[in-house]
A = this chain, B = another copy of it.
Amino acid sequence: MSATESRYGRLLSDFEVGATYEHPWEVTVDGGTVALFQASFLDATPIYASAVMAKSCGLQDRPLHPLLCLNLGLSFSVHDVSEQAIAHLAYIDVRFPEAGYVGDTVRARSTVLGVKPASSGDKGVVHVRTILENERGAVLCAFERKALIRAGKLAERPAWANASGADTPDVKQFPSVPKALRDGGKGGFGPYANDFAVGQVFTHAIGKTIGESEHMQLTALVRNSHPLHFDEVYCKDNSFTKQRVVYGGLVLSWVATLASRDLGGHALWEAGLDAGAHPNGVVGGDTLYAASKVIAVDGEKVTFRLVGVKNRTSASAYAEYGDALFTEELGKKDGKIKDKVVEITRTLHIRRRA
């Protein structure tokens, strides 16, 4: 009486620098996927919602929301990279070089850039680069990320689960905005790029309480297979909270879209994310709030430090912490902000007032 119990993801010694993993998921994105994304993320950026607007801006149709593409790429990689991970540590240089559309069939692959055991010997940091492509080879999303992985080898990972692929190209070779994109349409509302001033802080007024079903649905929809997000029995023994934890890519998406009515009415593209982390976890029932600080304005590119907090308004967090709200938690010795759930540097491509 013995049974096979396959497990996926990898432990630290399963990673080899330079190896590329072809993730097995192959998914045709449909209008329903788009609608489910819209049904949780009340995004105000017109180009992602309206085919009329998108076409007037040079795209062939309403594009897939870049954050949906990031979630697909990141989640597809869980099966090979992070299903055994203790934590997601960093988002690095995320770009959305080409627009994806409903009907695209997407796949992803990841190349291992680095493996760094911790001095404690029981874990280490894995650094990968992932790209998400459609069936015509258009790169919809490219990014690097780091994850904290337990030491050892995963005995239960079946040999057939290991598909290798061609190297992923360097993220830096990709443009940050689709080539076809141009100013167009009348747009909705919100400030233009030249209305922003470096140092300006926005405490976005409205929050979002996360439903259990909605975060689990989104997690499955993007094929994130880490049981931390949807398997309560697993979580009782394995979750730092003893319960299901909301997948970080969704936390980022909620916080980014909570800022969208104030920042994104004239935005045309998510032109890059960098230096991102999730300092604290989020569970179903938590309410998220967002704050943004302008850190650079360069033509149509406006760069913000975006922060998400939980179960309190961002105005109250800013009143308590001031500009320290926007400094990286990693490396802070004192004054760690226990309510902070995400922080990331984010560039929006926003049209300029004529």
* B213 A189 Cβ-Cβ under 8 A: no
Chain A contacts with B in 45-79, Cβ cutoff 8 A: 46, 49-53, 62, 79
Chain A's interface size range is 35 or more
Taking CB atoms, residues of chain B closer than 8 Å to A204 are 5-6
Q: Is the CB of A221 within 8 A of B26?
A: no
Query: Of all chain B residues, which has the CB nearest A80?
Result: B189
Please give me the residue from chain B that is nearest to A201 by CB atom. Answer: B3
A105, B3: Cβ atoms closer than 8 Å: no
Give Cα A51 to B5, complex, Å: 30
Which among A85-93, A124-132, A155-163, A342-350 touches the partner chain? Answer: A155-163
Number of copies: 3
| A218 vs B212: C-alpha distance when bound (angstroms) | 15
Query: Contact check: which of B32, B50, B213, B289 meets A105 at CB < 8 Å?
Result: B50
A24 interface residue per 8 A CB criterion? yes
Does A328 touch B at the CB level, under 8 Å?
no
Binding site for B on A (CB under 8 A): 1-8, 24-28, 30-36, 38-42, 44, 46, 49-53, 62, 79, 102-103, 105, 135, 156, 158, 160-161, 163, 188-191, 195, 200-209, 211-214, 216-218, 220-221, 223, 225, 227, 230-234, 244, 261-262, 265, 285, 287, 289, 291, 311-313, 315, 318, 322-323
